[in-house]
Amino acid sequence: MKSDRRIVLVGPVFPFRGGIAQHTTMLKRALEKEASVRTVSFKRLYPRWLYPGSSDMEESSKGAVEPGAHYLIDSLNPFTWIAAARFSIDFKPDAVIIPWWTIYWTFCFWYLARRLRRAKIPVIFLCHNVIEHESAGWKVFLSKMALRQTDRFLVHTTQDEKNLKDLLPAAQVRRQPHPLYLQFPKPARQLPRRAGLELLFFGFVRPYKGLDLLIDALHQARLPTDFFLTIAGEFWQGRDELRQQIKEKSLQDRIEIIDRYLPDQEAADLFQRADLVVLPYRSATGSGVIPLAYYYNKPVLVTPVGGLPEAVIAGESGFIAERPTAESIARCLEDNYAKLRESGVIESGINKVKEKLSWESFVGGLLSFVPKEPGETDLA
C-alpha cells in the first residue's frame, strides 16, 4: 500500500540520456508506487559547447517526455532555480532527493539545498560520484560547497561512503547498491558471433575507464580460443590515440568500434552476444554498466578500484583482476577463461547478485532514511 510520504525528486529524466538520467527515471517510477512524488527535471541540462557528446537527449524520443515530470530548470538561468525551489516547497514534501554527480551543478544545487533547508525541508543528496573521476583540489572545494548544505546522503559504494566521510565527517550516510536497469528491452535478434570469446566494453569512453589497458591486455593474453572485442559507446576523449594503439598491436581484425550513443535495442543485442563485459577502469566509485550486464545475465571482469569489486562475486558473477594494469587484466582473462564456459555456475552467481538489486529494496531504504518529523536532522 502506498505510504503518505511526500517526496520531491530533482534530476534529469527521460528523454535525457546517460546513466544518471536512466537512474533518476527508474527511481521516479519506483518511488511513485510507494509515495506521492513531484519530479523536477530540466529544460536544459548542459550548454551545447560544454557537452562533449553528440547530444544529451535520446535521439529517438521525438518530443516525448516522462509522464508527470516537470521540466523547469535551465542550468544557465538562476531564475529557473528560484522557480524550481518554490515549486518544490509548495508541494510541502517530507524530503527532497537531489542526485549529485558533477561539479557543474554546484551553484544550482547549492542554491536549491540551501533554500529548502531554510524552509525546514530535509534534503538527501543521492551521490553517484562524491568526487569527480578526474579530480582536482578546486573540484573537491566545489563539491564540498554544495554537499555541506545537508547532512544526509545516499551512496552506492563503500568508496563513495569513504569519500563522503573524508569530505564531511559528520555526514549521515546510507549505502545501497545500484539497482538493476529494468527499462532496457529484451534482445530482438541473435547477432552473428565472430570468435570463440566475445568481449564487450560498453558506455561513454573516457580516459579513466582504461580502454588502453584492455587493448594492451588483449595483445598480451594467451587465450585458448580467438577473441573479438566490441567497443560500444561515444568517445569523449582519446579516439585517435586508441585507434593508433589498436593498429600498433595489430588488433584491427579483432576489435570493432561503435563510436556513438547506442539505442536501447541495439545495446540489448550487443549484450546478448557478449560472453563477458569488461570494465578495465583505472579509477571508479561504481558503474551502472555492471547491473546492466547482470540484467542481461552476463558476467563482468572488473579491476579492483572504487566500488567495482563489491558488485562482483568473484568466480561466480564475474572476475576481479589483481590490479588495474594490462598485465593483471591479461592474467585474469587467461585464468578464468574456463569458468566462462561453466554457464550454470555463472548464471547462479549472477542470480545471487540480482536478488539484492531490486528498485523496491532501494526505494524502501531511501524512504526509511527520510526524517519522520519536519526539521529533523538526526536519525532515530
Contact 308, 238 (CB under 8 A): no
Give yes or no: residues 31 and 173 share one domain: yes
Give yes or no: residues 119 and 236 share one domain: no
Give yes or no: residues 350 and 362 share one domain: no
Cβ burial, residue 152 (10 Å; 0-12/13-18/19+): buried
The grid cell for 270 is 550487443
Instruction: Break the chain down into helix, strand, coil percent, rounded to 5.
Output: 40, 20, 45
Give yes or no: residues 103 and 57 share one domain: yes
| Beta strands at 172-175 and 36-44: parallel, antiparallel or unpaired | unpaired
Give how far Cα 277 sits from Cα of 195, 202, 232, 259, Å.
15, 8, 11, 17
Fill in the amino acid letter for 267.
A
Give yes or no: residues 148 and 38 share one domain: yes
The beta-strand segments (E) located in the chain are 6-10, 36-44, 69-74, 95-100, 123-127, 152-155, 172-175, 197-202, 227-232, 255-258, 276-279, 300-302, 318-320
Give yes or no: residues 142 and 207 share one domain: no
Give yes or no: residues 212 and 141 share one domain: no
Question: What is the b/e burial string over 153-178, where b = at least 16 CB atoms within 10 angstroms of the residue's CB?
Answer: bbbbbebbbbbbeebbeebbbbbbbb
Run means of pLDDT, 10 residues per run, the chain, 380 residues: 90 90 95 97 81 63 85 95 98 97 94 96 94 77 93 92 93 92 89 95 92 97 92 90 95 95 93 97 89 95 93 93 97 91 82 89 94 55
**Domain membership flag for residue 166:** yes
Contact 199, 228 (CB under 8 A): yes
**Domain membership flag for residue 151:** yes
Residue 78 is part of a domain; what is its CATH number?
3.40.50.2000
Fill in the amino acid letter for 96.
V
Q: Is 24 helix (H, G, I), strand (E, B) or coil?
A: helix
Angstrom distance (rounded) from CA 95 to CA 116: 9
Give yes or no: residues 212 and 90 share one domain: no
Give yes or no: residues 160 and 22 share one domain: yes
**Domain membership flag for residue 316:** yes
User: Residue 380 has what pLDDT?
Assistant: 34
Angstrom distance (rounded) from CA 81 to CA 108: 6
Contact 151, 377 (CB under 8 A): yes
**Domain membership flag for residue 192:** no
Give yes or no: residues 141 and 89 share one domain: yes
Give yes or no: residues 169 and 207 share one domain: no
DSSP 34: T
Angstrom distance (rounded) from CA 218 to CA 317: 21
Angstrom distance (rounded) from CA 19 to CA 289: 9
The answer to pTM > 0.85 is: no
**Domain membership flag for residue 379:** no
**Domain membership flag for residue 116:** yes
Contact 340, 274 (CB under 8 A): no
Work out how many domains the chain is built from and give that number.
2
Give yes or no: residues 348 and 228 share one domain: yes
**Domain membership flag for residue 211:** yes
| Beta strands at 6-10 and 255-258: parallel, antiparallel or unpaired | unpaired
User: Residue 134 has what pLDDT?
Assistant: 65
**Domain membership flag for residue 375:** no
Task: Identify the domain containing residue 211 by its residue range.
Answer: 197-354
Question: What is the b/e burial string over 286-317, where b = at least 16 CB atoms within 10 angstroms of the residue's CB?
Answer: bbbbbbbbbbbebbbbbbebbbbbbbbbebbb
DSSP 315: T
User: Residue 378 has what pLDDT?
Assistant: 43
Residue with cell 573540484: 139
